[in-house]
Structure 1
């Protein structure tokens, strides 16, 4: 099982300068290698669908890929000796990042969904570098040894779980400081816990008024952290706009604005983790709708949808389920709020109507509660189908 722990770093002044210089040099190399990819694609990337019977085709240059760009790093250290200050494996991660973003633009991800054209990183926008191989003895107590940087103090707010081995370490610069993300692995942890109960299932319907309504009629009010912090964010943003571009005062104002935004994001993430833990302490299976959150974020409810953070919450649910040996079931969201949970009769109603009343069976209950009961029923059927298919495969 893979998991990750994030700790805050407390580097000294010299170590902060080294980390900042490393990020800036990696940013320059990222932009250069991305430009190489664009140059090759613009020259040779288009397909030739017709040509004269006799024509001259220029010699095709070698296509840039991750390994050819990694091989060029040896000459880079000869031409630019200051790149020797960066650990070789950290530098080799840059061509890997370039290949990932470039392939997502041309080929798409595993589901075939393509991303936009990759953009060059301006100053301050390259914020993470990774050590792909890390020795366990380099993290002892409250000190972590980072190659080319030194021994950095760590705030260990929680101990690492027993039996887990550190695979990679990523150093990230955020608005309020530096962080180390440790990727941990333990192959002995079971994927499903021994006392897993498939009948202990709940359906949840996420919303904007109530963050979620469960099929057992428990609910949590949406906290709306962004809405509550809007006044302070507006004041901080006004200070940035009033400062002269390029001045130190503007840089300080930008940093304060970033800290305020990070506080909103951190409080929302903390709420999501605590809510997920609360759900999995009571249930073994959680059924939730497979929502198109990106589509909903383009509507007039965009700010409220982004403030709720449904995508992050669902990802945390999956992460928690995997770590606890439990399950999250995704169901089709079509008609969950229109179908009657008592008789299955479709009762069309606008979004403003918050009470479900069925003329067929005379049931009357909260619209979101009705949807969560339907989600639970669909999740139960989907889980049974998964169990049957797994038994057949065995």
Structure 2
């Protein structure tokens, strides 16, 4: 099986593939030489009819190839209302601070693995020979080891964001958060590594997915002045990034900067709750159309962004 130089996936719709009778193998008949592939994993595709499978995607990862199935299914689950609402402020000092005064420490998966990643990158670079075509087998082995380490960090971050998002959705009926322009924020060369390591976009994806699945409201509010305004009297208190405590000179209210911001986010979310369900990225997320089931038993709502 060959992919184009800069392509890591190939997608089929309702033709060009056929599942075996026991749904443990798939055969591709598009004359590209892929042929028959065994499906390893614990997910039982017999639960779905062939008509429910709308797309099949082959994805190349650093540790192998994966088959993803886009299935038309109702993923919604009825839950009892909690009568609670919460505002979330995502940051670097804390992964998140909520309007209840709780904070979540950042896991810093990349920072913790940075030494190992740099060592693997140096070993890869030592085996690279300029102008050599093709490169040696040892170089490609080192390149794959380096890629697998990055993939492990990415999966750790994804699983962490998934768990936190699930916990937040299960505990509240309305969740308000900032509509952050992450692509713009990572252009700051002083903070780009920390922002990418935090995984804000991944957390938001899972938050919106679980909100849709369990019938909870998720509201993305404009981030303007959420860290500057006083949540008590709404007086604007200008602060630098290094100033971590909110002290209002108008009413005397004092609070941690991130918690004060989460209170402002909650107030904005409650005032604009009627607009919940508008996704700031523009397009409807793929999980709202059909659940994407990976061949290894997991489920993904859409391709994770690069960060």
- Distance, in Å, in 1 between the alignment partners of 2:116 and 2:261 is 36
Q: Aligned to 2:267, which of 354, 363, 377?
A: 377
The structure that has the greater radius of gyration is: 1
Q: Does the residue aligned with 2:272 lie in a helix, a strand or coil?
A: helix
Say whether residues 1:132 and 2:17 are aligned partners.
Answer: no
- Following superposition, the deviation at residue 140 of structure 1 comes to 6.1
- Distance, in Å, in 1 between the alignment partners of 2:150 and 2:213 is 29
Say whether residues 1:206 and 2:96 are aligned partners.
Answer: no
2:54 aligned partner: 167
Say whether residues 1:147 and 2:36 are aligned partners.
Answer: no
- Distance, in Å, in 1 between the alignment partners of 2:46 and 2:210 is 15
1:309 aligned partner: 199
2:244 aligned partner: 354
- Following superposition, the deviation at residue 294 of structure 1 comes to 1.4
Alpha carbons of 1:367 and 1:178: their partners in 2 closer, same or farther (altered >3 Å)? Answer: same
- Following superposition, the deviation at residue 166 of structure 1 comes to 2.0
With CA pairs under 8 Å and 6+ residues apart, which has the higher RCO, 1 or 2? Answer: 2
Deviation per residue, 1:361-383 (Å, 9 max, x gap): 22211110000011001000001
Q: Aligned to 1:268, which of 154, 157, 165?
A: 157
Do the aligned residues in 2 keep the contact of 1:134 with 1:166 (CA within 8 Å)?
no
Say whether residues 1:321 and 2:211 are aligned partners.
Answer: yes
With the length of structure 1 as denominator, give the TM-score of the two structures: 0.62
Q: Aligned to 1:234, which of 118, 126, 151?
A: 118
Which structure 2 residue ranges, 5 or more long, are not aligned?
30-34, 130-134, 278-307
Alpha carbons of 1:235 and 1:194: their partners in 2 closer, same or farther (altered >3 Å)? Answer: closer
- Distance, in Å, in 2 between the alignment partners of 1:226 and 1:136 is 38
Where does 1:237-248 land on structure 2 (aligned, <5 Å)? Answer: 237-245=121-129, 246-248=135-137
- Following superposition, the deviation at residue 137 of structure 1 comes to 8.2
RMSD (Å) for aligned C-alpha atoms: 2.5
Do the aligned residues in 2 keep the contact of 1:340 with 1:370 (CA within 8 Å)?
yes
With the length of structure 2 as denominator, give the TM-score of the two structures: 0.79
Q: Which runs of 4+ in 1 moved over 3 A?
A: 134-137, 139-142, 158-164, 192-197, 384-387
Deviation per residue, 1:115-155 (Å, 9 max, x gap): xxxxxxx3xx3221122116998266571313242141321
Alpha carbons of 1:204 and 1:305: their partners in 2 closer, same or farther (altered >3 Å)? Answer: same
Do the aligned residues in 1 keep the contact of 2:89 with 2:177 (CA within 8 Å)?
yes
Do the aligned residues in 1 keep the contact of 2:219 with 2:275 (CA within 8 Å)?
no
Do the aligned residues in 2 keep the contact of 1:144 with 1:151 (CA within 8 Å)?
yes
- Distance, in Å, in 2 between the alignment partners of 1:136 and 1:247 is 35
Which structure 1 residue ranges, 5 or more long, are not aligned?
1-18, 28-121, 388-394
Alpha carbons of 1:306 and 1:161: their partners in 2 closer, same or farther (altered >3 Å)? Answer: farther
Alpha carbons of 1:312 and 1:161: their partners in 2 closer, same or farther (altered >3 Å)? Answer: farther
Bigger shift: residues 341-350 or 254-263: 341-350
1:251 aligned partner: 140
Do the aligned residues in 2 keep the contact of 1:336 with 1:375 (CA within 8 Å)?
yes
- Following superposition, the deviation at residue 323 of structure 1 comes to 2.0
- Following superposition, the deviation at residue 162 of structure 1 comes to 5.8
Alpha carbons of 1:152 and 1:360: their partners in 2 closer, same or farther (altered >3 Å)? Answer: same
- Following superposition, the deviation at residue 384 of structure 1 comes to 4.2
2:220 aligned partner: 330
Residues paired across the two proteins, number: 264
